[in-house]
Structure formats: structure tokens, C-alpha cells
Amino acid sequence: MTLLLAGDIGATKTILRLVESDDLPQQTTLHEQTYRSQEFADLVPMVHQFLEAAGNNKTPEKACFGIAGPVVNNTSKLTNLSWILEASRLEQELQVSRVALINDFVAVGYGVTGLSDADLHTLQPGVPDANAPIAVIGAGTGLGQGFAIPQANNYRVFGTEGGHASFAPQSPIEFELLQYLLEKYNINRVSVERVVSGMGIVAIYQFLRSRKIHQESPLLADVYNTWEREIGKENKTVDLAAEISKAAKQDILAQKTMEIFVAAYGAEAGDLALKLLPYGGLYIAGGIAAKNLPLMQQGFLPAFLRKGRMNSLLEQIPVRVVLNPQVGLLGSALCAAQLT
């Protein structure tokens, strides 16, 4: 058995997991702990505390940490956290033979290769091909995109900056939304991330609200006003995107917001699928999709398939929503197991 250390590092919290691994993707979790990142000056003392609490006398052989921020040459300077992490330094100070630092969405890409059927909700079964690429897309704070290529008995995962490609309107109201965003932010192009993300849900709601296309409910009006007052404050009490999403079942303005969001999400996923032909599966990560499965079934798939003559190709691609919120942590452990 190989002893591995995996981490999911964010500016607010860090989750560490100690696992034993023998036959990929099977792993046994020995210990897991969540820490407040700001309470530590660096990752090293956190890991030391974690391993002491785990009560395991052995040092992990390999480690991989998924990081909410850019990773260049196995080095990362975390956004909103005063940590500068270098894999070579971590290897020395933690006495771990191999350490890898990967972007958190790359970790998600590794993670989807180790999910069980219970961790997934199938939107379209397609015709799976184990030798074909896998695509991963996930709307959350931003819009992550990546892909995985099968090699030997595992996968090699690549991140992309596809979320910063240009938003392509598909309907008259989306063309209006595009114009609204150009004017609102005084910019000359709109990335798809400005529409397909948590901030995109807010932007779509603001657009519909400003156009008075539907009446705003008193409840959401109070939520919106509170959110607006808290702009720029460090401690916020309202997650407006989450509130809009939750209200979509009974509030017409929130419902229309989510319909536009999900349609744009599906269209972008379809564009990604056309570029990669991921017959190994297209996986939709991020909490927004998992919390809105009925909307995803109704609105995502039609927009995903609406590609003219290429419709028949996309019908062959398995499309699944990731339900496991710790897919990134699982991915970090799987990546660690593959380090040589």
C-alpha cells in the first residue's frame, strides 16, 4: 500500500486527506480534516498538525494539492492568502519524496475519473468510449473547463482557460443581455464566464430586473437590496446567486434568470464537446448544476444538442452531473498516486 497526502486548498478553508492506495482508482481514507486557511502562516505547519492528529507514524510517500489559483512550474502564489507554495520546498520541509501542485479544476478533472455511479446524475447516457477524451466543465465562482486523455491505466488531465472565451448569444434575449453587459461594465467583449457562473446568475438577474421584464417579488427585492448594500464589504450575509437559484421554483424573475443561465451553460458545454468529441464523457462539476438537476434536465441538454448538423455527434456523448462535492479532493489523491 502507498501512503498519500491530498489537499484542497482555498483562501477560506483547506481540506487535507490521508489515504492508502494500491490499485487505482481504489483508495482508503485514513484521516481527513478541514482547517481555516487564514489561521496558518503556511501549508507546512498545517500539514504537520494534520499528520500528528492522524496518529500515523509513517510519512506520506507522495502528495498533491489542488489550489484555488494559478499554478506555474509547480509554484503558486495564492489569491487572498499570503502563502507562496513551491513543490520543491514542500518536498524538503515535509520530507515527502514527490509533491505536485495543481489548479483546483485540474484536480476536478482527475477526480471525475474515480467517481462511482452514486456520485453522478446522468443527463444523457450516450455511447461511452473508454479510449476517448473526457471533458469537464464547471460553473461556480468562475467557469472552469478542462479535459483528460487516457494513457496506460489512468488519465492525464489538462486545464484550459475556456471560460474566458467569448460569450456567443443564441437567442434575441441573450443578444440583449450581451449588449447590457457591454454597457454595464464598459468593455468591448464579454467572456462566457460573465454569464455562466455565480456572478453570471447575478448579472442575468440584474439585466431582467432593469428591463422590468417580470415583476420582482418582495422577498427577492429585500435580498437584492441587502446584497447591494454589502457590495465591497468583507463580511457578507447574502449569496445572491444562491438565493436566486433557490427561489427559481416559485419566483418568475428568478426562474427566468435560471432558464437563461442553464441554456447558456448547455450551449457552452456543447461548444466544448464539439472541439474535443469527449466520447469518454462530459462531466458537469460545480455546485450550481448539482443543486438544480430538474433545470439542468429541462434546459441544459436541449441547448447542448442544438448544434445543427452536428447534433447526431453530440447525442453519442455521455453527459453527467457530478454530485460529489469533494471531487477535487479525490482528484488530488488520484494525481498523487500517479506521481513518479
The residue segments making up the domain with residue 102 are 2-115+325-338
Across-strand partners of 63? 5, 99
**Are 247 and 267 contained in the same domain?**
yes
User: Is the domain of 288 the same as that of 331?
Assistant: no
Residues 104 and 31 in one domain: yes
Q: pLDDT by residue for the chain (340 residues), tens digit each?
A: 789 999 999 888 999 999 998 766 778 899 999 999 999 999 999 999 999 999 877 889 999 999 988 899 999 988 778 899 999 999 999 999 999 999 999 999 999 999 999 999 999 999 999 999 999 999 988 999 999 999 888 899 999 999 999 999 999 999 999 999 999 999 999 999 999 999 999 999 999 999 987 888 888 999 999 999 988 887 888 899 999 999 998 899 999 999 999 999 999 999 999 999 999 999 999 889 999 999 999 999 999 999 999 999 999 999 999 999 999 999 999 999 999 8
- For the chain, what is the domain count? 2
Query: Is 308 found in the same domain as 169?
Result: yes
Show Cβ contacts of residue 232 under 8 Å, excluding neighbours closer than 6 positions: none
Inside any domain, residue 253: yes
Instruction: Write down the pLDDT at residue 175.
Output: 97
Q: 297, 87 in Cβ contact below 8 A? A: no
* Residue 1: per-residue pLDDT: 77
Residue 108, CB half-sphere, CA atoms under 13 Å: how many?
A: 29
Query: Looking at residue 26, what is its pLDDT?
Result: 77
Q: Are residues 182 and 311 part of one domain?
A: yes
| Same-domain check for residues 16 and 104 | yes
User: Structure pTM?
Assistant: 0.92
**217-256 residue pLDDT tens:** 888 999 999 999 988 887 888 899 999 999 998 899 999 9
Determine what percent of the chain is predicted with pLDDT higher than 70: 99
Provide φ and ψ at 67, rounded to 5°: -125, 130
Residues paired with residue 72 on neighbouring β-strands, in sequence order: 75
CATH number at residue 289: 3.40.367.20
- Look at residue 148 and tell me if it is in a domain: no
Q: Which set of grid coordinates corresponds to residue 57?
A: 507514524
Residues 171 and 267 in one domain: yes
What local confidence, expressed as pLDDT, does residue 312 receive?
A: 94
Question: Comparing C-alpha atoms, which of 316, 340, 304, 338 is closest to residue 114?
Answer: 338
Q: In what order do the strands lie in the sheet with 134-139?
A: 120-124, 319-322, 282-285, 134-139, 143-151, 154-159
At residue 332, φ and ψ (nearest 5 deg) are -60, -40
* 48 and 179 assigned to the same domain: no
Residues 166, 275 within the same domain: yes
| 120: three-class secondary structure by DSSP | strand
Residue 97 near residue 61 (C-beta atoms within 8 A): yes
pLDDT number for residue 80: 76
